[in-house]
Structure 1
Amino acid sequence: MSLLRVLGRPMLASMFVAGGLDSVRNPQNVAPAAESVVKPVTDRVAVLPDRTEDAVRLSGAVQVVGGLLLATGRLSRPAALALAVTLVPTTLAAHRFWEEEDPGQRMQQRIHFLKNLSMLGGLLIAADDTGAAPSLLWRSRHAAHDLRRDAHLVRRSVRAGAAPAAAAGRVRAKLSR
């Protein structure tokens, strides 16, 4: 694993571990802001908890686990995707800069919104990062190519061996008469 990955993944994950722990411990701090996003999502996804505080706790737990997995490089691609999924509603709930009246608050919320958007971009890159190992798609394509090449070589060797064997069989047949 490259030094950039070893350093970059924990740096990207740190915000999720810290924020997720806070959401698990104190969901009441963000529940009022999250209500506007949690309600429409829980109406559409039946497996999510109906109470906003429970949904915030669940999102925080996913962020902690996903952050730790991303930081350690274990299952980092699915972890990055899980973190990205939790980041979208978090951003939409907490940083609604377009609703702010105060110009100072609007600017602060816009900065946080763009920061989260940047983190989302980093997570999408991390979700696509194979860690310098070939992806499963690449491996399957090359395995299929290698199989076709091997089959072609076998076919050529069978054909090359069949002609002399047939000639030897004809000679043996003439000699045995």
Structure 2
Amino acid sequence: MLGAIFVVSGARIVLDPDSKVTAAKRVTDKVGPLIERVDPRLPSDARNLVRAKAAADVVAGLLLARGRFTRPAAAVLAAGLVPTTLAGHPFWTYPQPERTQHETHFLKNLGLLGGLLLAAVDTQGKPGISYRTSHAVDRSQRSVRRAVRTAKREAKIATVSAAAARKIPG
């Protein structure tokens, strides 16, 4: 369900990117030169960046909704939501009553961001890599200690058996 809003709004923006270009310029005018420095072949104009972000929203939203690659999909959506929120809903720059409307959308996006961050770290009941690594070390150490205790016990039994065998007259 969390992915649905990104699929629908992303599809609308892919079809009509010009509806968001003016708002996006707040961010794209700052990011565009950085993109050009990284790779001049990448699109850096506001219209293409808006369209690319919307396409990423559609794909990641569909993946999230289908339960496929949920953690990376949620991370992509969360990363894209931050500049979108800052560009689209800077409520602090608006007078009343527009300010209240943008503040509501800003807070809604923060709620979506929280849900996406939870989805990005959710392991669906399976332990994460750091947990598995630290517990694998603990299990290995316990296994080694157990093997040492067993070896000591068997050596003691073998020693006692050998001593008893020497004492029995044959």
Shorter-chain TM-score above 0.5: yes
The equivalent of 1:127 in structure 2 is 120
Counterpart code for 2:147: V
Map residues 62-141 of structure 1 onto 2, 5 A cutoff.
62-101=56-95, 103-141=96-134
Map residues 136-175 of structure 1 onto 2, 5 A cutoff.
136-168=129-161
Q: Can you list the C-alpha shifts for 1:65-115, whole angstroms capped at 9, x where unaligned?
A: 1111111111111111110100011111111222223x1222111111111
RMSD across aligned C-alpha pairs, in angstroms? 2.1
Identity of aligned residues (%): 41
Q: TM-score, normalised by structure 2?
A: 0.85
The equivalent of 1:25 in structure 2 is 15
Matched, 1:15 2:5: yes
Task: Structure 1: state its 5+ residue gaps.
Answer: 1-10
Kindly state the Cα deviation for residue 167 of structure 1 after the two structures are TM-superposed.
Answer: 4.9
Find the residue that maps to 2:97 and give its secondary structure. Answer: helix
**Alignment length (residue pairs):** 164
Kindly state the Cα deviation for residue 119 of structure 1 after the two structures are TM-superposed.
Answer: 0.8
Task: Give the stretch that moved more between structures: 47-56 or 119-128.
Answer: 47-56
Task: Give the stretch that moved more between structures: 43-52 or 148-157.
Answer: 43-52
Kindly state the Cα deviation for residue 170 of structure 1 after the two structures are TM-superposed.
Answer: 6.3
Q: TM-score, normalised by structure 1?
A: 0.82
CA distance in 2, matches of 1:174, 1:27: 96
Kindly state the Cα deviation for residue 54 of structure 1 after the two structures are TM-superposed.
Answer: 1.0
CA distance in 2, matches of 1:49, 1:119: 28
Kindly state the Cα deviation for residue 165 of structure 1 after the two structures are TM-superposed.
Answer: 2.9
Moved over 6 A (4+): 170-175
Counterpart code for 2:27: V
